Structure formats: C-alpha cells, structure tokens
Amino acid sequence: MALENIILEHEKGIATIFINRPEKLNALNKATILELHETLKTIEENPEVKVIVITGSGEKAFVAGADISEFANFSAKEGAQLAAKGQELLFDFIENMKTPVFAAINGFALGGGLELAMACHFRIASDNAKMGLPETSLGVIPGYGGTQRLPQLVGKGRAMEMIMTAGMIDAQTALNYGLVNHVVPQADLFSTYMTIANKILKNSPVAIGKAIKAVNANYKDGVNGFEIEINKFGECFATADFKEGTTAFLEKRKAEFTGK
C-alpha cells in the first residue's frame, strides 16, 4: 500500500518509522493506524530487519493523540469497536512482535500517542518531551491499552493520578517514574537510539524474540510466565544462534548470528 502518513527508512538492519502528519502533530487516525500495521507486518517478515524504531516527524510531537474528529459522533458500540480494532491492528500487534520495537519520543506523546509508545518494548525520550493521557478531559477513557500498560510501567497510584488529572508530565518525571528508559537532549535523540539499536543488533534475533514472549507472558492473565520462560529457554538450545553463540564464546571470538 502507498504510504501517505508515515515515512519508512531502512539502514543496516534498523528500520525507522516516522509518523508524518506534522499539520496534525502526527495525530493517529484510522488510516495511519492501518499504515503502521501493514508496514510493521511487512517488516516483521523481513529477515534483514533486526530492530524497529518508531518516532514522529518534526521536533514538536511524537504523536499528540488520536484524531478526535473521526470519532466525536460515535455511538457506544462504535466506540468499543474502534478500541478493539485499534488494539488488534496496532497496539497489541506491536507488543507481541518478535522483532524489538522501541519508541523515540521526540515531543508530545499524548493519549493514543503515549499508548503507542507504551505498546513498544521500551522507550527513550528527548528532554522536551511531554507525556500524558488526557482522555478524561474529553469525557472518555484511554482505549488503546493505556489503562492497562501505564500501571504496569509506573505503578497503580501514579497511573491513576495521571489518568484522573488528565495532566502531562515532563521527560524527567517520566524517567523517574520508569515510563522511559533514557532522556537525552533533542539533538542527541537520533544518535542515542541508533547506538541502542546497534547494541541490540549484536545479539541473537531468535533469542531476543523468545525473550520478548517470555517477558510479556508475566503480564497475561492465566499464563505462568516461569513456564513460558522454561519453554523458550529450552527452545533456544535447538537454534543455530545458540550453537554459534556458545561456540563463539568458547573460542573467544565475536558471534555471527543468523537469526535461525
């Protein structure tokens, strides 16, 4: 499909997705969610891509929320369908990808924008970033996983306060809360996320994919995360990457992983 709302760049195993609706501060609409889904699905099937970074175009916003004009007149049923479809197509999809995805938050990450960042496996932010879930100020609640993922990341009390006040927090507060892993000057955001991506590139893609599944298992109802870890640990022993990694270690050389 033709990409109208995102820009995709691919360099040496790293795919960077820029959400590109600067006139709307990169707000998420249905078309953008669909484009992101289709792009991520294609990338996931591309063995050349080992790391994915999602960021926003420009210097003002990562994603400054959802496009409210699209759903202002929805019924209760339509609202529930909107949330369900969005979670399926994008937010849950990202969380469960085997390719690591992280968000480079380069400005406002509000509402659906923060929910998108939280669906990623981890987050870094520029020092001008502002984050929040303002939905209750519109008479609605976060619908793309925000009420679930925010407490997982910052704790129940802080999540309740952020959601109920509908306020924004700055990048340093987000770092203190554990919502983001790193805060850097905006001018250093690109070099920082490329440095992190290149560190990930050195490791086994197949092992990273299994680690993602094991970590996620702890947050799923009715799933024993320890059992999933045991199973995924065992599965690693049948991979070429395990043989290469252990052989390289014993031979005191750098491993050359194939992702198999």
What's the CATH number where 153 sits?
3.90.226.10
The reply to whether 259 falls in a domain is: no
Residues 108 and 221 in one domain: no
Name the helix (H) or strand (E) containing 215. Answer: helix 205-217
Any catalytic annotation for residue 44?
no
Catalytic residue among 38, 135, 227, 229: 135
Q: Cα torsion at 178, 179, 181, 182 (round to 10°)?
A: -110
Among residues 186, 201, 216, which one ends one of the domains? 201
- 257 occurs within a structural domain: no
Q: Which domain holds residue 60?
A: 6-201
Residues 70 and 182 in one domain: yes
Amino acid letter for position 58: G
Element (H, E) at 252: none
pTM for the whole structure: 0.96
What the block records as the tokens of 103 is: 């968000």
**Domain identity same for 193 and 213:** no
In a domain, 256, yes or no: no
Which of 184, 201, 218 is where one domain is finished? 201
256 tagged catalytic: no
CA atoms of 158 and 153, how far apart (whole Å) = 10
Co-location of 177 and 238 in the same domain: no
Q: Strands 61-64 and 108-110, how do they pair?
A: parallel
What amino acid occupies position 154?
V
The answer as to whether 122 is a domain residue is: yes
Distance of alpha carbon 22 from its chain centroid, rounded? 20
Q: Tell whether 260 is covered by a domain.
A: no
- DSSP structure class, residue 73: T
Q: What is the pLDDT along the chain (260 residues), one digit of tens a residue?
A: 678 999 999 999 999 999 999 889 999 999 999 999 999 999 999 999 999 999 999 889 999 988 888 888 999 999 999 999 999 999 999 999 999 999 999 999 999 999 999 999 999 999 999 999 999 999 999 999 999 999 999 999 999 999 999 999 999 999 999 999 999 999 999 999 999 999 999 999 999 999 999 999 999 989 999 999 999 999 999 999 999 999 999 999 999 999 99
Give the end of a domain, one of 163, 178, 201. 201
Kindly state whether residues 236 and 125 are assigned to the same domain. Answer: no
- On whether both 197 and 215 belong to a single domain, the answer is no
- Neighbouring CB atoms inside 10 A of 178's CB total 12
3-state secondary structure of 151: helix
On whether both 129 and 243 belong to a single domain, the answer is no
Q: Tell me: do 59 and 142 sit in the same domain.
A: yes
Do 44 and 95 form a contact (C-beta atoms < 8 A)?
no
Q: How many domains does the chain have?
A: 2
Whether 215 is covered by a domain: the verdict is yes
Q: Which of 35, 115, 235, 256 is catalytic?
A: 115
Q: Is 154 found in the same domain as 39?
A: yes
For residue 103, which of 17, 168, 174 has the smallest C-alpha distance?
17
Q: Do 82 and 119 belong together in one domain?
A: yes
